[in-house]
Chains A and B, each alone.
Chain A
């Protein structure tokens, strides 16, 4: 089966932005955000922006599998932590810096996503969700028992002393890296959504049997989706050790990442690239504000309440509210 089996679809929307234009626009927005943050220039602004942006990447990545394909992944934390520990392991073994480590994290995360896809090909709905939850527990146990990356004691990752050229502090550099990653992941998500691959995934989500019957290569598309989503989630986690200089399994595999990765796209709207972006920015800024002003337990409460209210009252997310009820 090849891509030619998919019928060519002419979309009615005439003013659709081309892929190239969108990538350029994202690059421009990324540059503006970096400049704006540089303008503010406070360490806390960098930290808060990094926190928000890592969720933008994570939520966008989750949505490629969860939103476009309709497979709920409860193991987002596993992929996220895989990325973080890839940074620790490759940094320690090969002495690589942050940027090559992000590349390695993408490879490891993609392989893990592919493996998950192969292992869970026959599972649908809740079974897939639970299998990913199990995967998370298995990986956490392995990391806890793997003393090379610190085991349950955790690992310290020192930030390099010299800061790359245009930046004044390492936090600024880290933040800029995440801005680029976030812009790239949003652009990737949009490219997938508007391409033939996205159409195939949507067909798969709406009715897997019918899609298969219509000649959509469901098996291959599922593997592509799990791999891309896994790679991007790992990329989201890769900078984490540098953010706090310390990482330990319980927090890296924390349920907060899993619940946020699900809540953010659902709140924003899962059918479009803008949904996870809106949801992530809203929810993580809210959490960052709540952590500073109320308490860290309070911020999870907010996620829970917002999530429940949104799935009850606005099943298609914020995007759905604007498009009107279908």
Chain B
């Protein structure tokens, strides 16, 4: 085959795998930002917190990082629920969420990151899964398990979440709170309780994404920064509250970034991806997969 074509094909495939990781990172935000309207800019910081905890636990126990991250989810759920209680008490109740709420999460993000630097140090942490050095080859295309396994775990978790949101009573209540919280009150459901639960789920997803991240690459306290723009970009391009749109946007984002990096060098890939987002925001603010308001 033509070497350029092979390169392109490999770029697309590894972009799709990278997109799986991005989907994991963005799914939680799709719940909190897209459905609950809570602009949790600290979401990537929670992901990094999860990643570093997984790395430390992996160092202590040697259990597979992805299993560890699943074990971490209840703790992160509780953390998220507690954070939402504080957020609701101080901002949402008063109707001050716009600027103050954003600043609140900005501050939380800094506290998490600097707290990590002060406690575990600024160096990189990693966790080597047993399959990390295996690569499947399908013809000319490489499928590194280091990328494939986290992507598959992430996508199946998102599929589970999507089923939960569609089929169960609580899941539908979460979807409903996104549309009209007052109507929820009329059904004798407490919207605050539902939002607390949903915000917990979004932070639990950050822990899962952290597990996936630490399998893919070494993580330091500041790794979340590059993800802030990416995950918000993905959620907006995906049309906010749609999980399916979020996954598609994540895959597209991964492919664009990776193909750019393959052909023009990695230093250009952020600009192309974010340029796309700026264009989407300027031309089609409801997202590529969203419906017009």
Contact = CB atoms under 8 A, between A and B. Distances in A.
21 contacts: A70-B99, A119-B278, A122-B285, A127-B285, A134-B278, A136-B229, A137-B271, A137-B274, A140-B270, A152-B267, A255-B225, A263-B107, A297-B114, A301-B114, A301-B118, A304-B109, A305-B111, A307-B110, A312-B104, A315-B96, A315-B100
Contacts of A133: 228-229, 232
B159 interface: no
B236 interface: yes
Number of chain B interface residues as a range: 35 or more
Contacts of A127: 236, 281, 285
B39 A301 contact: no
Contacts of B98: 70, 72, 125
Interface in B39-96: 39, 86, 90-91, 94, 96
B183 interface: no
B281 A131 contact: yes
Contacts of B111: 301, 304-305, 308
B229 A137 contact: yes
Interface of A (DSSP majority class): helix
Contact of B110 (A144, A152, A259): A259
B67 to A, nearest CB: 32
A138 B115 contact: no
B285 A304 contact: no
A129 interface: yes
A140 B117 CA distance: 24
B267 A141 contact: yes
Interface residues of A, number: 43
Nearest to A126: B39
A118 to B, nearest CB: 9
A289 B73 CA distance: 39
B281 A304 contact: no
A307 B118 CA distance: 19
Interface of B: 33, 39, 86, 90-91, 94, 96, 98-104, 106-111, 113-115, 117-118, 122, 225, 228-229, 232-233, 236, 267-268, 270-271, 274-275, 277-278, 281-282, 285
B114 A72 contact: no
B285 A145 contact: no
B117 A297 contact: yes
A130 B39 CA distance: 10
A311 B107 contact: yes
Contacts of A125: 98
A307 B107 contact: yes
A303 to B, nearest CB: 6
B275 A315 contact: no
Nearest to A129: B102
Contact of A122 (B108, B274, B282): B282
Contact of A311 (B100, B122, B278): B100
Given A127-B236, A304-B110, A308-B111, A297 B118 contact: yes
B222 to A, nearest CB: 9
Nearest to B269: A141
A28 interface: no
Contact of A138 (B101, B114, B275): B275
Contacts of B232: 130, 133
A262 B100 CA distance: 10
Contacts of A142: 271
Interface string A252-275: 000100010011001000100000
B104 A301 contact: no
A71 to B, nearest CB: 9
A311 B103 contact: yes
B285 A126 contact: no
A308 B268 contact: no
Interface in A109-141: 119-120, 122-123, 125-127, 129-131, 133-138, 140-141
A270 B118 CA distance: 31
Given A134-B274, A134-B278, A303 B110 contact: yes
Given A119-B281, A130-B232, A131-B278, 10 more contacts: A66-B99, A72-B98, A72-B99, A134-B281, A138-B275, A144-B267, A259-B106, A263-B106, A266-B100, A304-B108
A123 B267 contact: no
A300 interface: yes
